[in-house]
Amino acid sequence: MSENRTDLSQIGEFGLIDHLTKNLEAKQASTLLGVGDDAAVIDISKDDALLISTDMLIEGIHFNLMYMPLKHLGYKSVAVNVSDICAMNGKAEQITVSLAVSSRFPIEALEELYEGINAACEFYGVDLVGGDTTSSLSGLTISITAVGRAKKSEITYRSGAKEFDLLVVTGDLGAAYMGLQVLEREKEVFKANPEIQPDLDGHDYIIERQLKPEARKDVIGFLKELEVIPTSMIDISDGLASEILHLCKSSKVGCHIYDEKIPIDAKTSMIAMDFNLDPSTCALNGGEDYELLFTIKQEDFDKIKGNPHMTIIGHMTNEQDGIYYVDKNGSAVTLNAQGWGHFKD
């Protein structure tokens, strides 16, 4: 180790990835795209490409087994990887699952985890084709790689958005974050007094959004039926604001998004206000919604308009125009992202 020491917290997760991979150069003819999108793209035939995406989930960082049942954790681990393949407009077909587990976990616990993994594989039509299982000194680590397939002409990159394109988001936002807040609150209550049963009544929707998010494979199907190929796409794992900034940076465009257009479920808004949080802030920075964010050409407006699964929340502008969030009063403010910032904790 050299004597210089730069803390990871100084650079952040995205900064670190950029820093470590900045000099990478693809040398294999089959590498169509490397680092920098939701999945890598590998050439396999004249018309088709394979998509490879990978995610690592760490106990104590990405999940807390105090309120995350192992079966849900298994399901979610698969769903978030399928979501990355969806974000390329592809179809996930295979996954590998690697586990590191401490001796604190009995076999029955891993069986529960695999029940969830298998349920998600079944639901998304994905085969579990490999992995690695090893012991760890502490905690549970799950590393999943998803393999997907797409027609080259239909792959949606983060870099394809153009000025005047419309910005569309699926489903509703902020619910997963509010689910986490409720679970954390009940955890603290439980720790203070284990006799008190958690009060999760009426919070089914937001808790399910946190514990059992779904990849929007259905939306990929709807887009095909509508004959819409997005000009760019990303999935919302870190929060709407963060993903908009990614799309704009990759596509070299600006953006205007409108607060009043952001889809937020009434239950999310209510519980956010209970917590004295602004629902829009939860939607912008909450993360883990695993909805899709994409841009379409203006000419596709009529195909999307009124679709219950998709909401137009803004439009892309010239890069020089900047990235703006138009608030409830009609004031445009520069959009910032908070993201998860694991390294900043």
Quickly tell me which residue has 């690697």 as its tokens: 98
Query: Which is nearest to 235 in space by CA: 88, 126, 121, 339?
Result: 88
Helix (H, G, I), strand (E, B) or coil at 303: helix
Residue 322 binding a copy of itself, by CB under 8 A: no
Residue 68 binding a copy of itself, by CB under 8 A: no
Q: How far is the CB of 131 from a copy of itself (least distance, A)?
A: 6
- Total residues at interface with a copy of itself (CB under 8 A): 85
Query: Which is nearest to 42 in space by CA: 60, 28, 22?
Result: 28
Residue 270 binding a copy of itself, by CB under 8 A: no
Residue 64 binding a copy of itself, by CB under 8 A: no
Residue 11 binding a copy of itself, by CB under 8 A: yes
**Half-sphere exposure for 56 (CA within 13 Å, toward CB):** 6
* Closer CB to a copy of itself, 30 or 336, in the complex: 30
* Closer CB to a copy of itself, 96 or 281, in the complex: 96
Structure tokens at 34: 């490397």
Window 138 to 177, contacts with a copy of itself (CB under 8 A): 138-139, 141, 143, 145, 147, 149
Residue from the set 6, 153, 193, 276 that interacts with a copy of itself by CB under 8 A: 6
Window 194 to 223, contacts with a copy of itself (CB under 8 A): none
Query: Which is nearest to 75 in space by CA: 212, 183, 175?
Result: 212
Residue 110 binding a copy of itself, by CB under 8 A: yes
Residue 96 binding a copy of itself, by CB under 8 A: yes
Structure tokens at 116: 């969830």
The answer to whether 91 and 149 are in contact (CB under 8 A) is: yes
Residue 345 binding a copy of itself, by CB under 8 A: yes
Query: In sequence order, what E strands does the chain have?
Result: 31-33, 40-43, 48-58, 91-101, 127-135, 140-151, 166-170, 232-235, 253-258, 292-296, 310-318, 323-326, 332-334
Q: How far is the CB of 246 from a copy of itself (least distance, A)?
A: 15
Return the CA Rg of the chain: 20
Residue from the set 76, 79, 86, 112 that interacts with a copy of itself by CB under 8 A: 112
* Closer CB to a copy of itself, 238 or 265, in the complex: 238
Q: Taking contact as CB under 8 A, which single stretch among the options 112-120, 165-173, 193-201, 257-265 is the one that binds a copy of itself?
A: 112-120
